[in-house]
Amino acid sequence: MRFTLFLFAPFLFFLFIACSNAQKKQQQIEKNQAELDSIALLYNPLEADEQIDAFMHNLHKRSGFNGNVLIAKKGKIIYQNTFGWADYLHKDSLKIDSRFELASVSKPMTALAVLQLVDQEKIRLDQEIEEFFPGFPYPGVTVEQLLTHRSGLPNYVYFAETVWPDRKKGMTNSDVVKLLIEHKPARYGKPDGRFLYNNSNYMLLAAVVEQVTGLSFADYMKLHVFRPAGMKNTAILSKAEYDQIPTDVIGHDRVWRRSVVQNYLDGPVGDKGVYSTVQDMYLLDIALKEGRLLKKELLDSAYIGRSDPKRGLFSYGYGWRTFSPPHAQIVYHTGWWHGFKNLYVRDLTDDITIVLLSNMVNGSLNHLDNLYKILEMPILRKNAYDSNGGFMDHE
């Protein structure tokens, strides 16, 4: 026994040294990246773009925009600011590092997690969801159909209210999957049929990530998306874990006196549930462009529209809404949930990033035409949204 230990001692010693060196190397990489992130976030309010500043103050005063904004162009922040209240009841002002519920702006990050696992060959795009959840009552639904909103599945947001007993207790993604298996609500359409935007798709994708990795979706995203991207103020927060989600930014529904109360639907994540800041969303943009989260080939595949829009310019890829006017490629996502309304835009052609996070649900984000003109980029809103700010229909 002693002889065996004597023989293996050098091996164990060198293994220890190798692990220690690898850890130090990773720590140095993270330190270097943190320094680069700090430089990327440098901003002097005295150098704010005057046209954008005038536009945003007007959007705040006349259209009721309440929230935070960051706009970057060619790798530099040209404008950032806060407007209004984090919590109207307590008259708490917003700060630049205030965390907002991203609502459906969470979906591009969920898609990113799935594509990472596709890259590692732990998930296949053509893999059926029934392989992950035995008894799943909708045969023929694949991972890719969930990513592109072409699954035809019922929307759990509407189904759950009839079968979930405790409106104050948050559901988990596993709870929703069990309810779908047990109650088998009627599907909206056939698999790989027409585009139909649906929160069930991305809730299920997050559940698949948990099933494949053995990690909670929150832990997976922290380890493999948020931390590598330098997003220190970003987390997935679920009412299934918290009686009251710990955030200082309260969602408001049109009328200031009406703050939106969290309920059981604030439990499932993947379709929503990411809380973040405008600066962290800019760091995500940088990390994606630099290829730190996903290799270029797979990332580019996420930007390809896979629905056939009536109006010709707007489509949906893997977690991204796509806008493809002549000579430009723009990917973006809208978000609306329980008093939060957001817009995240990435002009991939001219390297422009727009982050607008709002905790007041109104029509202010429908009045951005002049902002796009100032930035000399295609007008995104035209023919994209209905009167309530929702995305126009696709075939």
pTM of the model: 0.90
Q: Strand, helix or coil at 163?
A: coil
> Of residues 251 and 7, which shows the higher confidence score?
251
- Who's near 79: CB < 8 A, 6+ residues apart? 48, 49, 52, 53, 56, 69, 70, 71
| CA-derived radius of gyration, the chain | 22
Tokens 């990033």, residue?
Answer: 353
d(CA 62, CA 200): 36
pLDDT of residue 311: 59
Q: What would the mean pLDDT of 234-256 be, rounded to a whole number?
A: 91
Q: Where are the beta strands (DSSP E) in the chain?
A: 67-73, 76-83, 85-87, 92-93, 100-101, 235-236, 274-276, 314-316, 321-323, 330-337, 340-347, 352-358
* Cα three-residue angle 77-282-319, rounded to 5 degrees: 140
Class of the 21-374 domain? alpha beta
**Annotated domain spans of the chain:** 21-374
Mean pLDDT of the chain: 91
Q: Environment class of residue 9 by beta-carbon count within 10 Å: exposed (0-12), middle (13-18) or buried (19+)?
A: exposed
Closest CA to 57 of 34, 76, 82: 82
- Who's near 328: CB < 8 A, 6+ residues apart? 347, 349, 350, 377, 378
d(CA 266, CA 168): 10
Dihedral Cα 342, 346, 350, 351, nearest 10 deg: 100
pLDDT of residue 388: 42
pLDDT of residue 15: 64
Model confidence pLDDT, tens digit, residues 76-117? 999 999 999 999 988 999 999 999 999 999 999 999 999 999
Model confidence pLDDT, tens digit, residues 312-331? 689 999 999 999 999 999 99
Model confidence pLDDT, tens digit, residues 124-163? 999 999 999 999 999 999 999 999 999 999 999 999 988 9
Is 283 a residue whose pLDDT tops 90? yes
d(CA 218, CA 236): 5
Is 232 a residue whose pLDDT tops 60? yes
Is 393 a residue whose pLDDT tops 60? no
- What is the sign of the dihedral through the CA atoms of 100, 102, 364 and 161? negative
Tell me the residue length of the chain: 395
